[in-house]
Amino acid sequence: MISHLERPSVRAPSLRQILADSGLTYFANGLIAFIFSATGPLAIILSVGTRGGLTDAELASWVFGVFFINGLVTIAMSWRYKSPLGFAWTIPGTVLVGPALQHLSFAEVIGAFYVTSLLILVMGATGWVKRLMSSLPMPIVMGMVAGVFLRFGLDLVRALHSNVAIAAPMVIAFLLLSANAALGKRIPPLIGALVVGAIAVGVLGQLDAADLGSFAFAAPVVQAPVWSVAALVELVVPLAITVLVVQNGQGVAVLKAARHEPPVNTIAVACGIGAALSAAVGAVSTCLTGPSNALLTSSGKLERQYTAALVFGVFGVLFGLMAPTFTGLMLATPAEFIMVLGGLAMLRVLQGAFMGSFAGGRFTLGALVSLLVTVADISLFNIGAAFWGLVAGVVVSWLMERNDFVLLANRN
């Protein structure tokens, strides 16, 4: 099985090389990716866990797991492969767990997390994941990615409408710094937007002091799993599909579009290991995150972007250790502040996703169908719309663009 794992093509960087490759641009990309993870996706965990009847200690342990453990996985993989490989947790999988907690105990759900981690590990170690990825037409995959990322662009427009006092100065700062190349090199546009937005939030008094808590370290809760057939049937296969096809599919597609060569099988193995460690503290499965990797590779030189992932991982570890403190700080900022940051960072990425879907002239109808089904955001059988977008796109292309499949098979 080890023969299926991709070996690094370069030597792991030394500390001196990491410092030489670092820079404000990469720090900014890593910071923005972290802020994205620590706000909206974190709110989903808090919402799902609260509705599922989890205690404050169990919720804090979940937050610790998804940040601390995935931060360590990110650092280890990005350093060893000298490539941006940002790991987080499956957001659709988190949503999937919500209904399960209404009729299953948390210990039964944790048992399903463990079995899911084993399935993901085996799929990666046997090489099945890479075979599956290589058989999927990239334009259809990018259509799904464009459908997932489109909401970030729409959120940017909505933020300008709902809170123009915060959003407009951030957008103006971003555009001015982007238009002036010399100034943009000294102050990355995203950092400029972040600083201007933070000043606007402070001046306008829009920081919600009620969400700010006192300083505290995380106290992870280790729970014994309960093996339940009902939980395994309901959760394991949908969770594995979400991680391997939807989330990792997005992450791999984003990295390939940015001209990286992610080690697909090794990534799946890392996800399996991370998922097992996360399950020990009651956290949902690990995945190669699409949005965060898009942010990590949104600017800068190809060979230095791994340092942005290291920044992302370090912030994740620190956030996990001090989850109660940082959670309150992140949730205290206006929603529009995060919406604008995410939308601005995703502009070029979204442009690249649309070009990857339609510029090549192949699988264009399948890519369009994949985009539409994903944007519709309708789940079936506890599996999210992104997966069904891929299925619909492949089926339509198989029926109506069969010659493109012949060309794909010849190329492979």
Are the CB atoms for 317 and 71 separated by under 8 Å?
yes
Query: How large is the angle between the packed helices 402-411 and 385-400, nearest 10 degrees?
Result: 100
Classify residue 259 as left (phi > 0), alpha (psi -120 to 50) or beta: left
Among all chains, which residue has been given the structure tokens 């939807």? 246
Among all chains, which residue has been given the structure tokens 């960072």? 345
d(CA 375, CA 134): 24
How big is the chain by its Cα radius of gyration, in Å? 21
6, 32, 75, 100, 316 from 35: Cα distances, Å: 31, 5, 17, 28, 10
88 three-state secondary structure = strand
Question: What is the model's pTM?
Answer: 0.75
Main-chain phi, psi angles of 33, to 5 degrees = -60, -40
Query: What pLDDT does 168 receive?
Result: 94
In a 10 Å sphere around its CB, with 0-12 CB exposed, 13-18 middle and 19+ buried, how is residue 162 labelled?
A: middle
Query: What pLDDT does 108 receive?
Result: 92
Are the CB atoms for 121 and 268 separated by under 8 Å?
yes
* pLDDT by position in tens, the chain (length 412): 566 788 898 999 999 999 999 998 899 899 888 887 876 677 677 767 877 888 878 888 898 999 999 999 999 999 999 999 999 998 778 877 877 888 888 999 999 999 999 999 999 899 888 887 777 788 888 888 788 778 878 888 999 999 999 999 999 999 998 888 788 777 778 778 888 998 998 888 877 666 555 667 777 888 889 998 888 887 887 788 878 877 888 899 889 989 999 999 999 999 999 999 999 999 999 999 888 898 899 888 999 999 999 999 999 999 899 877 766 666 677 878 877 877 887 787 788 778 888 887 888 999 999 999 988 888 777 667 778 888 899 899 999 988 887 777 666 5
Query: What pLDDT does 412 receive?
Result: 57
Structure token pair of residue 150: 């489109």
Query: What pLDDT does 161 receive?
Result: 92
Query: What pLDDT does 32 receive?
Result: 84
Classify residue 223 as left (phi > 0), alpha (psi -120 to 50) or beta: beta
323: which DSSP letter?
H
Nearest to 41 by CA among 63, 24, 25, 56: 63
* pLDDT tens, residue by residue, 79-92: 999 999 999 998 77
